[in-house]
Amino acid sequence: MIGNLSKKEKMLGLGCSTFGGSKSKKIALRALNDAFDLGINYFDTARSYGYGQSEAILGEFVRGKRDGVALTSKFGISPPKPFPFMSQVKDAVRFIKKLAPGISQQAINAYSNSNVSRPSITPRLVIETLERSLAELKTDYLDFYLLHDCPFENAVNDDVCAALEKAKDKGMVRAWGATCESPSELHRYFKKSSPFGVVQFQYGTDNVHVSDGSSPEISKVVFSVMSQAAGQKEPAPSFFRQLPANQKMPGLVQNLQEAWLYIASQELDRGVVLCSMTQRKHIERNIAILNAPGISNMELAAMKEMVMGGVATVHAEKEKYREIGTI
C-alpha cells in the first residue's frame, strides 16, 4: 500500500475526523464499510478526533481487514476532556444539526477547539501516544504516524525525530511525518534536508507542491480540497454544462465542490486526496471523479480559471476554450 504512494500513484482516502463527534458510531461504521466495499483502503484519524473516540471506531472496523488497509494517525493534540452526560449532549447536538447544520457544527467545533490541549512534544510523548493509538486501533503498526499541526522547528527536533525513527525501526510505524497547516511554511517540509517520509497539507490554488514532483521520497496527503468552494457563489447548472464534453464525465462535476475535487486530483502528481465522506453516494461520486479521464495542462488551467471565476467569467472563459480548440 505505502509502496504504491511512492510510485506516483494516487488514491482517495477517507478522513475520520468527525467519527465519534458530529457523526455517531453507527454512521461512522456504515461509512467505513461502504468506503472499503467501494475500494477505498486508506483511512486517516488522530488522537484528538471525535473527542478521542475516532481511533476506537476505526479500530473496530479494521478487525479482520488489517492487511487490506492503510492507517494513519496523528499525535500532538490531545482530545477534549470528557464531561458529565457527554454522550447525551452529542446526541442532542446531532439532532439539532438536522434542523440547523451551521449552528450545531459551530457548537461542536467551539467546544472541541476550546478544550483540546497541545502538550510539549517529547520522545516520551511520541511513544506513549503511539502505544495508545495502536491499542485503540487494534493493530501493532501504523502505516503513517504524523506530528499533528505543530511548528516546524518542533517537528524537526532531533530527539523527537530519533524517537520516531526508533519506532520505525521496531516496526511500530512504516513511515512518519507531519501535517502542515501553514502554506507559507510548506516549502520547509519538502526541502532536501527534511526528515519526513510523509507530509499532509492543505490544498491551495497556488500550492506548487501539489504537482511539482519535488522530493519523490516524501509521500503526499492532500486535504481540504472541497473547502475551496467555501464562500464561492454556486453557479447555475448551465455553468457546468458549458464545460467541454471531455470534462463533463457522466454525472460528475455538477457543482463547485466536485469541480475542485476533479481539478485537485488532476493536479496531484502522486499520493492521497483525503475527503470526509459518510454517504455512499458521495463516496461513489468522489471515487469516480478521482478516476475520471485526464485532460491537458492547458485545458486544466482554463477549467480552473473558469471555476475560480464562476458565472461572471463564463463567456470570457468560453473564448479561451475556443482558442485552445476544445469547443
Q: What is the pLDDT of residues 259-306, one digit of tens each?
A: 899 999 999 989 999 999 999 999 999 998 898 888 788 888 878 887
The full DSSP string for 165-179 is HHHHHTTSEEEEEEE
Q: What is the mean pLDDT of the chain?
A: 82
Which range is most confident: 19-23, 56-60, 186-190, 206-210?
Answer: 56-60
Neighbours of 234 (CB within 10 A): 12
- Residue 311: DSSP 8-state: G
Per the structure block, which three cell numbers stand in for 56? 476506537
Neighbours of 5 (CB within 10 A): 24
Residue 12: is its pLDDT beyond 90?
yes
Which residue from 243, 254, 241, 244 is spatially nearest to 289, judged by alpha carbons?
Answer: 254
Residue 321: is its pLDDT beyond 50?
no
C-alpha span between 213 and 232 (Å, rounded) = 29
The H-assigned helical ranges of 100-249 are 101-115, 123-137, 152-155, 158-169, 186-189, 237-241
Residue 47: is its pLDDT beyond 80?
yes
More confident residue, 51 or 96: 51
Residue 211: is its pLDDT beyond 60?
yes
Neighbours of 63 (CB within 10 A): 10
| Mean pLDDT score, 189-213 | 88
Confidence band (pLDDT; 50, 70, 90) for 251? low
The full DSSP string for 22-79 is TB-HHHHHHHHHHHHHTT--EEE--TTGGGGTHHHHHHHHHTTTGGG-EEEEEESSBP
The helix (run of H) or strand (run of E) holding residue 201 is strand 198-202
State the Cα torsion 12-259-222-267 to the nearest 10°. Answer: 100
Residue 313: is its pLDDT beyond 50?
no
pLDDT at 247: 56
Give the end-to-end CA distance of the chain in Å, rounded to a whole number.
Answer: 40
| Contact in structure between 215 and 194 (CB atoms under 8 Å) | yes
Confidence band (pLDDT; 50, 70, 90) for 311? very low
Residue 79: is its pLDDT beyond 90?
no
| Contact in structure between 185 and 147 (CB atoms under 8 Å) | no
Cell 481539478 -> residue: 263
Burial, 20: exposed, middle or buried (Cβ in 10 Å; 0-12, 13-18, 19+)? buried
Per the structure block, which three cell numbers stand in for 216? 519523490
The helix (run of H) or strand (run of E) holding residue 200 is strand 198-202
pLDDT at 30: 98
pLDDT at 301: 84
Confidence band (pLDDT; 50, 70, 90) for 87? low
Per the structure block, which three cell numbers stand in for 126? 511520541
C-alpha span between 320 and 151 (Å, rounded) = 42
The full DSSP string for 281-292 is HHHHHHHHHHTS
Which range is most confident: 49-63, 103-117, 177-191, 231-245?
Answer: 49-63
pLDDT at 291: 87
| Mean pLDDT score, 90-118 | 55
Per the structure block, which three cell numbers stand in for 2? 505505502
pTM: 0.84
SS3 category, 219? strand
**Segment among 52-66, 89-103, 238-252 with least mean pLDDT:** 89-103
Confidence band (pLDDT; 50, 70, 90) for 239? low
C-alpha span between 230 and 101 (Å, rounded) = 15
pLDDT at 303: 80
pLDDT digit string, tens, across residues 144-183: 999 999 889 989 999 999 999 999 999 999 999 999 988 8
pLDDT at 62: 97
Domains of the chain in sequence order: 2-79+116-235+267-295 (3.20.20.100)
pLDDT at 4: 56
